[in-house]
Chains A and B, each alone.
Chain A
Amino acid sequence: MRGFGDLEAVIMHRVWDHDVPVTVRELFDELARERAIAYTTVMTTMDNLHRKGWLARVKEGKAYRYTATASRDEYSARLMREALDSGGDTQAVLSHFVAQMDGEESEMLRAVVRRLAERRPQ
C-alpha cells in the first residue's frame, strides 16, 4: 500500500467484494488482519469516498452502513467508453497504445501482415 489514494482503491474493492452493506468496523477488522492500519484511517477514507460519491451510506444505530454507488463493472465500462471515444466529447489526454481503426486502415494492416508472412515463410 502506497499512499492515501491507494487505500481508497483497497477499500472500494473490499466494498465491491461484499454483497451486503458494510460498516467501517467490519472493513477495519478485515484489513487489520492483513496490515497495520488504524480504525480512524479506514473511517476517514470511507468518509472521503462517500463525499466523492463512490459510497452511499445509511445510518444504522450509531454506525453507517456503506454500499458502492455503482458496481466495478459499471465504472470500468464508463472508463472504457471515455477511453475509446477519442473523436467525441472526451478531451482527456490518453496516449493509446493503438488507435481505433476504420475499415480501410484494418485492410492496410492485413496487407502488412501478409507482407510479413511472405518475408518469413515458415
Chain B
Amino acid sequence: MTTPALLFGYAVAVACWAPALLGRLTAGGISARLGLAAWLTAMASALAAAAVALQYLARAAVTGWSRLAEVVCRSVSGHACTATGYQGAAVEFALGAAAIVAGLAAAVLAWRYGRSVQRAQQQTRAHTDVARITGRRLPGNDDAVVLDAAQPVAYCLPSRPATIVVSSGALAVLDRGQLAAVLAHERAHLASRHHLLIAVTRGLTAAFPAVPLFARGAGQVARLAEMCADDAAARRSGRGTLVAALLTMATGAAVPAQALGASACAVTARLQRLVDDPGPARRVRYGLTLAIVTVLLALAPALVTGFAGR
C-alpha cells in the first residue's frame, strides 16, 4: 500500500508547491521555451503519478475482492477462513470503497476536462467560419483576413484552415514592418500548436479549479506561449520592430471598463524581457535550472514507484 500512498503524496506535493517554484523561475520569461516545458512537465508528472496511484489502488481492491468473496462464501458454508493475504473484511471494504470513489472522481474530472475542451473547439470553429467569410483577404497573405473594426486587434484561429485575423484598426496604426512582426508572432503560435497547449491546460483548470498547479498553470502556459511567439517574431523582424508593434497595438487599443484584472498575458512583462536583455550568464543559469527541474519532474513518478516497490 505504500506505493500508491507515496505516488499520491508526490502528486499532491507537485500540485501544491510546483506553482510557487516555477512561478519564480519563469516570471521574467528568461528561457521562455524551457519554462513552458517545465510547467507542462509538472502537470503531466502530477497527473501521471495520480493515475498510477489510482491504478495500484484499483488493483489492490480487485485482488482483495476475490478473497473477500471467498471468505464470505466459506463463512456462510461454515468452514474457517484460510485465504492468505486477506486483510480482514473492514480493510477490504474500505479499499473497495476508496477505489470506487477515486474511480468516480477520475471519471468526473475527465468529463469536465472533455466538456471544456470540446466547447472551446466548437466556439473556435464557429468563429473561424464567420471570420473567413466576413473578412477580406489581407493582400499578399493567404492565411490572414482583415475585419472591419476600429480597435487594433490581431489574433490567430487554429481551426483548419489556420487563419490570422487583423482588424482594420490594427492596419491603420501598424507600419509595414510592424505588421510583419505581428503576423510572424501569430504564425509562430500556429506553427508551434500553442492552441493545443492552451486548450489542454484550460481543460485541466476546468477539471481541477481548486488545485494550485492547474488553477495557475493555464495562465502561465498562455503567458509563456506569448513569449515564445515573441522570440520567434523578434528573430524574424528584430526586437525593436516587435517592441514598437506591441506598444502600438497596446496603447492604441481602447481599454474596456470590464477589462481583465491582472491579465495573465501581461504586455508589460513581455515588453520588459524584450527591452531588458538578461545577459548570457543569467540566461544560462535560468535555462539550466529549468532544464534540471523539468528532467526531475519527468522522472519523479518512475523514481517514486521504483523506490516504493523495493
Contact = CB atoms under 8 A, between A and B. Distances in A.
B59 interface: no
Contact of A112 (B116, B142, B261, B271): B271
A99 B124 contact: no
- Residues of A in contact with B, size category: 35 or more
A73 interface: yes
Interface stretch (A20-28, A29-37, A56-64, A84-92): A84-92
Contacts of B149: 76-77, 79-80
B275 A112 contact: yes
Contacts of B129: 5
B260 A109 contact: no
Contacts of A91: 116, 119-120, 123, 202
Nearest to A108: B268
A72 interface: yes
Given A97-B186, A101-B250, A106-B255, A92 B127 contact: yes
Contact of B123 (A6, A54, A90, A106): A90
Interface string B115-143: 01001110110110111111110000010
B260 A93 contact: no
B227 to A, nearest CB: 12
B253 A98 contact: yes
Contact of A100 (B121, B124, B182, B263): B263
A95 B226 CA distance: 8
A105 interface: yes
B183 to A, nearest CB: 9
Nearest to A106: B255
Interface string B191-234: 00011001100100000000000000000000001100100000
Interface in A6-65: 6, 8-9, 12-13, 54
Contacts, number: 159
A58 B136 CA distance: 27
B151 interface: yes
Contact of B130 (A13, A78, A101, A106): A78
* Chain B interface helix/strand/loop/mixed: helix
A11 B195 CA distance: 30
B91 to A, nearest CB: 44
B194 A101 contact: no
Contacts of B147: 76, 79-80
Contact of A94 (B124, B134, B272): B124
Contacts of A104: 262
A121 to B, nearest CB: 16
A82 B128 CA distance: 11
Interface stretch (B63-71, B81-89, B154-162): B154-162
A95 B148 contact: no
B195 A99 contact: no
B249 interface: yes
Contact of A2 (B142, B225, B264): B142
B77 interface: no
B223 to A, nearest CB: 9
B199 A93 contact: yes
Given A92-B124, A93-B158, A108-B268, A76 B148 contact: yes
Contact of B161 (A5, A78, A95): A5
B198 to A, nearest CB: 5
A5 B202 contact: no
Contacts of A75: 130, 133-134
A77 B229 CA distance: 27
Contacts of A112: 268, 271-272, 275
Which residue among B133, B251, B259, B261 has the maximum number of chain A CB atoms within 10 Å of its CB? B133
B155 A97 contact: yes
7 contacts: A79-B147, A79-B149, A82-B123, A91-B202, A93-B202, A99-B263, A103-B255
Given A96-B153, A96-B154, A113-B251, 8 more contacts: A80-B151, A82-B123, A92-B124, A98-B253, A100-B255, A102-B262, A103-B255, A112-B272
